[in-house]
Structures are given as C-alpha cells and as structure tokens.
Structure 1
Amino acid sequence: MGLLEADGVTHTSRYDGLSGATNGVYQAGAVVNTILTVVILDRFGRKIGFYWNGLLGLFGGALACGSMNIPEFIVARAFLGASAWGFLVATPILSSELAPPGSRGFFVGMNGFCIAFSYAVAGYIGRGFFTADKPEATWRGPLGIYLIVPIGLMAIAFFSPESPRWLLMKGRIDEARRITYDLHRVGENLDFAMEEFTEMSKQAEIDLTLESSWSTAVLVINNYGPTFYGSLGYGPIQQIDFQIGWLTVGFPFCFLGALLMDRVGRRPLMITGIAGCCACVIVLAAASANINTNPRALGALGVAALYCFIALYSIGVDVGGNVFYAEVFPNHIRSKGVALADMVLALSDLVYLQVSPTAQSEVGWKWFLLFILVSGLGSIVLYFALPETKGLPLEELGHLFGDPDAAFYTAGEGALNEPKDVHSAGLKEDM
C-alpha cells in the first residue's frame, strides 16, 4: 500500500500518519457503534445485538481482506472496530444477566480471557503468514481467517438463552421464569432459582417506573509493540516474536483472574492490577531512556516490564473491568452504562493510537509519562472510590451506591424489602 520504501524497512513520509489513521479509525467506528449496540440491546434483545455486530464484522472483514488500496482498508477498519467494540458491550451484559451471583465473576471474567486468547491466536497466525512466499498472503491470509470469528459468535448467540432480566422488562414473564429456573437451579432444587426470579421480577417492576435516558493504553502496546521493542534495540523478527510472546502471556493470566474474581474479590484485583501496570511503565520508560548505556541488559529489562504489564492488566482490567462494568449499573440502564464505559475507553484509545506513531518518533520514551500519570492517578482514585461487589445479586448492588430503587432480600429472613412510593408496572400478578 505504499507505506514503506523499496527496501521494505525505511518509513515513507506517509507512514506515521496512515499507520495512526488505520488504528484511529478503528476506535472511531467503536465509538459510534457502542451507541447503536445499546439501542439494539434494549429494544430488540441481547441476542440480536450479537447478530448485528457479527454482520458488521463480516462486512468489515471481507472488505479488509479484499482491499486494493489504503482508503478501502481504512474504511474496513472502521467497520471492524464497530463490530469488535459492539461485542465488547454485548458480551459482558448478557453474561452478567445470565450468571448466578456466586460465579458471576468467573463467567463474566471469561470474556476477558477470550479476548486475550484471541489476541494471542491472531499473533500466531500473523507470525505464521509472515514468511509466506507471496507478499499479499502475509496480510490477506490472517484477515481472511478472521471471518470465522463473527460467524462463530453469531452461532453461539443462536444456541444461547435470552437474558431473563431483559425478558421481564418486556413483559415476557413465562420465558424469563423458564430460563432462570433452568440456569439457577441447584440440582433438582429450585428454591434458589425461585428466590432469584422473585427478586428479579420485583426489580423489573421497579425499573419500569424509572427514567432510562442517557444523562489504558494497553492497545498502544498491542498495536505498536514491535515499535517499542525496536526502541529497545531488537530487530524485526525479534520484535514480532516478542510481541507474540507478550500476547501469549495475556490469556493465562485472564483465566487466573476469572478464577480469583469470586474468591478474592473485584476491588483488590483491580487496584493491584492498575498500580502494578503503573510500576511496569515506569520501568519501561527508564529502560528506554537509558538504553544506550547498556543495550543488552536494559533491553531485556524493558521486555520483562512489558510482559509483567500485560499479566497485571489481564487480571485487573481485562477481567476485573469487564466484570465490574457489567455489575454496577441498574438493570434498566445496564447496557447504557457499559456502553458509556466502553465509549470513554474507545475515545481515549482513538487519541492514543492516532498520535502514538508520531509521538514515539518525536519524543521517544517521554511518551510513556502520559500513561504513568493516568495509571498512577487511576489507582489512587480506585483505592478510595471502588466498592466490593463480590457475591451480591445484581438487584442488590444498588444499595452499595445508596440507590433507593432496589428490591432485595434481607439476609437470613427471606423477606422481600420494597422501596416506598413505587407503583406497580404490571408484574405484581406474577409474584
């Protein structure tokens, strides 16, 4: 596409700008589709959101694989970003609304594991095609294989149940009851499932009376990792191999995070993850700044810092963030809340990815100072503001934030508590 000189290495004058654009437009598509996905999730159902984003992915993937020039490829990236981030909104919402309270952290956290595992697989595929005989195969091949992914996600949605909480909000009570009893029974004992459904029904009754209007930088390392390894003194093949290793570290630590989420809790894992990421970026910046004094040792130190970063990020953000965003918002605005969280992330990534090539070229290691500041301040804010949500039903989490519009059971009594002055929304006859 004319981004490199004839020697295949030297950057052309267009390289930094177009490299940033191909990543930035991905995030732009993400911002737009987070809003569209929310509309679809709330109006047509959680499963329909999967089909919508799967179709976007198929169109964007086919266009990217068949692109004949850089403008076509950039347009394709917008659709791919829209699809990927739409799934990032839809999957934790459906997972959280289907999972029992005691294992919700694991099941929602597995979304982070699947993301990290997919990044690693993408890295392996890219490395495998890197030495292909035909130059076009090095990038068309991986992009063609990607088309399997949206098809697979739509197939999973087809065989998955709809969210019982969404069904209750739409008055489809019998369907919601059946799904809840199927998923939340303990062996043949339906007592727990019946309590869950009663609480969900009462919360839906309340939610229908309420207003529901609209009132990080791991992707920089992921997308520009080889550039960072190059700044540490490593050649092209080593850059790619280190990046594949970095991607491989992510998914086992995401799985570890999912296992720990319901045992240790959300709060300690998220705070430790963000603070640890800050420490790793400090080490990386120091190694990059002084690389000329001892290239071999400081290069290895920088690589180790990047690997530790993704391990901590996987546990604290990829898993912890996915779980927490899907839990803390009330049922009637959960999709909007998750979308807003993802939209803020997409907007920040858009800025980071757009300017990163130029910033890395112009200011070098000082570019890392921004991420040190963000993660450092973030860990402090989390320490003082982050509540623990482990083991609580979704309907009870509102009380952590002083929300009076929540139905919940008094521990040990089995009595349903109701807020005052709440009018029936048509579900009482089913209670």
Structure 2
Amino acid sequence: MAKIPLYVITISLVVGLGSFEFGFGSAVFVASLGQPGFYMYYGLDPTAKHTADIISAVNGLFYFGAAMGSLSQSWFADRWGRRVALAVAAIIALIGSALVAGSVNIPMLCVVRVLQGCGLGMLLTLVPLYLSEVAPPAQRGLLTGLSVLSFGLGYVTCSWMSVGCYFASNLTLSWRLPLALACVPPFPLLFGLRFVPESPRYLAWRGKLEEAWAVVQKLHKDKDDPNQEIAQAEFTQIVRQVEAEKEDQATFITMFKKPSWRKRSLLAFFITFAAQAAGIYGITNYLPVIFASLGMTGSMPLIMYASHTTVGTLAVLLSIVIVDKFGRRRLIFVGYISLTLILLAEGLLQWKYVGTDDKAGNAACVLFIFLYIIFFQCVDAPAFIWIAEAFPTHLRAKGVSLGIFALFVGTITFSTPAPVAFSTIGWRMFMIYMALSAISAVITYLYLPETKGLPIEEIGALFGDEVVVHLTQDGHGLVEDKSIQVDHREIASESATAAEKV
C-alpha cells in the first residue's frame, strides 16, 4: 500500500471528530438506559410498557432530527462549502447536546433530542463526504472509513464512561454527566477546522481553480514526486470532469430522472437502509435491556455493552484496513451472509434459553451477539465508503445525504419499535432481521458494483456516464479513452483488473 501523506492523515483525523461526536452523542442516551438514576429522576418504571413507549419515542425523535439534518446539510455543503457546513453542524450539535444535558422532564428531552439529532445527522453525513474528496484513490476506503471508526470510538468512550458513572454516589450525576460531556467534542472540531482546507473538488466545481490547485498540491506533496506529476494529473482530471458535468442540474428530484443517477440513488438508499434492516440499532440500542434478560444484574449489563462496542470498533478498524484490498462489494456480501447465519443462531438460542438458568445457553446467546457486531462491520464501513464515492462532485452532497437519510429512516423503522417488540415477540425479532439480511445479500450480489481503486472521477463509468479522461495506472499521467465499459455485476477482482487496464 502506498504511503499516505501526513497532511492528509492530519486533516482526516480532525474532520473525523465529527463522527466521534455522533457516536458519543447518540450513545449517551443508550448508556443512560442502564443507569438507575435516569429512571428515578424521570419517575419511570424500567419494567413498564409505558417506559418502553417513552424510550421508543425519544429515540425515534432523535433519529427523525438526524434524518432532517442529513438532508439539510447538502444545501450548506453545496452553497457554502464542506468546511462551513461542518462548522454549522458542530454548533447545532453543541447547542442540542447542552440542552439534552439540562433536560428537566420528558417533553423537554424529546424536543431537544430532535435538535441534537439534527446537528449530529449533519456531521455524520459531512464527514465521509469530505474525506472521500481529499483521499487518494488507493487509500480512499481506509480514509473514508475513518468516519465509521471515529463513530465507533465515540461509542466506546461513552459506554466505558457510563460504566464508571454507574458507581457514582450521586444518582443524577451518573446519567447526566455523560450527557453533558457530549458538548466537548465539537470544540476541538471547530478549532481544527481553521486548519482544514476546503475540498479541492468543491473548489473546482465552484470555479476556484487556483485555490483547488493549491489544495491538491498539499494533498499530494511527496519527495518521491518532485515534479508533482500525480498532483497535476489528478487536478487536470478533476477540472475536466467537473467542467463536463457543470451544466447538469442537480436536485433531489433529478437524481431519480437520469438513469445513471437513478441507479446510484437507489443503491445508496438500499445500502444504508439494508444495514439497519439487519437490526443493528434495534439490537445495540437496547443491549443493556437484552443483557439483563439473559440474567445479568447490577453494572454487568453496562460492562457487557461497553465490551460489545469495543469489539465492534476493533472490527471496524480491521474492515477499513482491508476494504481497499478486498473491495466494498465483497465485504458487504460476506457480511450479510454471515449476519444471516448469526441471527438465525441467536434467535434459536434465545428461544431455548432466555428465562432459564442454563449458564452455557445464556453464554452462547452473548457470544453470538458479539459475533454479530464483528461481522456487521463488513457491512457498515464499506456502505459509508460506497455512498461517499459513488456520486459525481456536483451531486455528491445530495447523494450522501440520501444515503444517510435512508440510514436514519431504517433506524426509525427497525429500532423505534424494538423495545416493545423484544418485550412481546422476543426471539422472533432476530428471525425478522435474519430474513432481511438474506434478502440484502441477494440484492448486493446481483446489483452492487465494485468501486475500489478507481479515481473518484472515473466511478461514473460503472453507471454508464462518460468519463472525460482517465488516470494512468501509476497516477502520473492521463489517458483519453472513452471506449472502456464496465459491467454493473462484475465481481471485485474483475473490477480491479479493469481499473488496472485504464
């Protein structure tokens, strides 16, 4: 693997703080569900159906706000740039998090979680959008995947902090402190954005070619390339492709009118919605409750939840390290096949052992919940990467918005009813998730094209768009070859071979 310039790594880590804030901010409420002080403060009975309904409503409203934020960011990102949009999102998330931490009753908590969700939804959309536009083709999967890794690190930080807070003598502090600490990550992000450049592709799209060239030079600064041949080739390709597409009017409506855009849009909606249909939030948002149903008491459900998020984040790291070698499509397909088998096993185990004293059976239930989060990362990170790189520059902000919007629609659809569903139909929920995962595996195999290794300007060829100019294999030059055809159903290895022939 070619080395990644330190400058690119630095700005990627700074921007990744946006995903960290989403992970932390969305996890704090989940963690609060494991704190006795939360239920005491709001006068709720943890075992009552009324409480389950309230939890569903608060979570549903948060993801509604996130869905609205994911759509609205495209206007900011296209009109004012990726950097300004990130700053606006961080400020909204900061205000929302502060109000959540200060909530004094359930109605207030419901309202301000919408605002917090809006800011966090914007951040989760903008981070992969920006990272895909500054990453070199060979490492785009790794760098764009940092958005999911940072998300996971936010979850891990919050979950282990909540374990510590469980032992606080002040029961209000035990759940309100993590909520308040969600206000911290936006500050280093806002400070760091002062040193982060605007996306060169956005600048070129807006006709600011001198600024775009200056950024591309920084992104490709390499002592082994003193003549900056790679930077010159990529800059030329960016400018020519943007100019060729400049007259296209990009709206959410036209995204579904032009055939090549419609293919991208439908697949972007599918790829993130399907991940939620596999039950990720329906399961993880209520893990403390699920672990309690398996006989765990006291702090143990929170400890197991924190361990679960840690294992999942380590799996994300492995996923983004190998995604540029194995491909997005292959990992997603393997992920869905694995999830189908794991969910089947989990459902059968819970059917047989939940409510019993069989320690081996309950331990097996826990094992498969951990296997679930490991193999889910074969789906999650590649999905974020795919939607961020599949669209042309003038459509990318809206395309990523659509994908993340679908993620939150799926989250609302499959996680909001989860507490009631798990309390009524129990293990059968895993069978529903299993069936949906199997369907997703089939659709992925048949229709999802491989995008690994291709310069982002050349991905349009996978959907039937014209690519004005191609980079040579070593990235130092350009080739004008409009005869290249790409089969939408090719396997990853065939796609890589086609890319090497360019």
TM-score normalized with structure 1 length: 0.92
Identity %: 28
Please give the residue correspondences for 1:209-220 in structure 2 after superposition, counting only pairs within 5 Å. Answer: 209-215=247-253, 216=276, 217-220=279-282
Separation in structure 2 between the aligned mates of residue 7 and residue 417 of structure 1, nearest angstrom:
68
2:69 and 2:120 in contact (8 A); partners too? no
Shift of 1:123: 0.2
1:409 and 1:417 in contact (8 A); partners too? no
Is 1:191 the equivalent of 2:254?
no
Please give the residue correspondences for 1:349-428 in structure 2 after superposition, counting only pairs within 5 Å. Answer: 349-404=411-466, 406-409=468-471, 414-417=478-481
Separation in structure 2 between the aligned mates of residue 138 and residue 303 of structure 1, nearest angstrom:
26
List structure 1 runs of 4+ shifted beyond 3 angstroms: 1-10, 409-413, 416-419
Shift of 1:380: 1.3
1:232 and 1:295 in contact (8 A); partners too? no
Gaps of 5+ in 2: 1-36, 254-275, 484-502
Over residues 298-326 of structure 1, what are the superposed CA-to-partner deviations in whole Å (9 max), with x where a residue is unaligned? 21111111111111112x23321111111
Shift of 1:158: 2.3
Instruction: Tell me the secondary structure at the aligned position of residue 388 of structure 1.
Output: coil
Aligned twin of 1:311: 374
**Which of 183, 186, 205 is the equivalent residue of 1:150?**
186
Over residues 108-134 of structure 1, what are the superposed CA-to-partner deviations in whole Å (9 max), with x where a residue is unaligned? 111111111110111011111111111
Aligned twin of 1:31: 67
Is 1:261 the equivalent of 2:299?
no
Over residues 43-96 of structure 1, what are the superposed CA-to-partner deviations in whole Å (9 max), with x where a residue is unaligned? 100011111111111111110111111111111211221122211110001001
CA distance 1:2–1:296, shift in 2 (3 Å)? closer
Separation in structure 1 between the aligned mates of residue 41 and residue 162 of structure 2, nearest angstrom:
22
Amino acid of the residue matched to residue 220 of structure 1? G
Aligned twin of 2:362: 299
Separation in structure 2 between the aligned mates of residue 107 and residue 80 of structure 1, nearest angstrom:
26
Separation in structure 2 between the aligned mates of residue 33 and residue 8 of structure 1, nearest angstrom:
30
Shift of 1:9: 6.1
CA distance 1:16–1:9, shift in 2 (3 Å)? closer
2:340 and 2:437 in contact (8 A); partners too? yes
1:5 and 1:11 in contact (8 A); partners too? no
Is 1:237 the equivalent of 2:299?
yes
Separation in structure 2 between the aligned mates of residue 84 and residue 139 of structure 1, nearest angstrom:
20
Separation in structure 2 between the aligned mates of residue 6 and residue 385 of structure 1, nearest angstrom:
48
Shift of 1:10: 4.8
CA distance 1:162–1:7, shift in 2 (3 Å)? closer
**Which of 116, 136, 139 is the equivalent residue of 1:103?**
139
Please give the residue correspondences for 1:42-81 in structure 2 after superposition, counting only pairs within 5 Å. Answer: 42-81=78-117
Separation in structure 2 between the aligned mates of residue 5 and residue 82 of structure 1, nearest angstrom:
26
1:266 and 1:390 in contact (8 A); partners too? yes
Separation in structure 1 between the aligned mates of residue 357 and residue 49 of structure 2, nearest angstrom:
31
Separation in structure 1 between the aligned mates of residue 323 and residue 46 of structure 2, nearest angstrom:
46
Amino acid of the residue matched to residue 88 of structure 2? W
Shift of 1:359: 0.9
2:324 and 2:453 in contact (8 A); partners too? yes
1:4 and 1:15 in contact (8 A); partners too? no
Gaps of 5+ in 1: 420-431
Aligned length: 418
**Which of 342, 348, 352 is the equivalent residue of 2:404?**
342
Separation in structure 1 between the aligned mates of residue 213 and residue 41 of structure 2, nearest angstrom:
63
CA distance 1:229–1:341, shift in 2 (3 Å)? same
**RMSD over aligned Cα atoms:** 2.1
Over residues 336-377 of structure 1, what are the superposed CA-to-partner deviations in whole Å (9 max), with x where a residue is unaligned? 111111111101211222211111111111122221121111
CA distance 1:195–1:78, shift in 2 (3 Å)? same
Is 1:281 the equivalent of 2:343?
yes
TM-score normalized with structure 2 length: 0.79
Over residues 119-166 of structure 1, what are the superposed CA-to-partner deviations in whole Å (9 max), with x where a residue is unaligned? 011101111111111111011110111111122222232221110000
Amino acid of the residue matched to residue 406 of structure 2? V
Shift of 1:261: 1.5
Over residues 228-267 of structure 1, what are the superposed CA-to-partner deviations in whole Å (9 max), with x where a residue is unaligned? 2123232242211111110110221111111111222212
1:92 and 1:323 in contact (8 A); partners too? yes
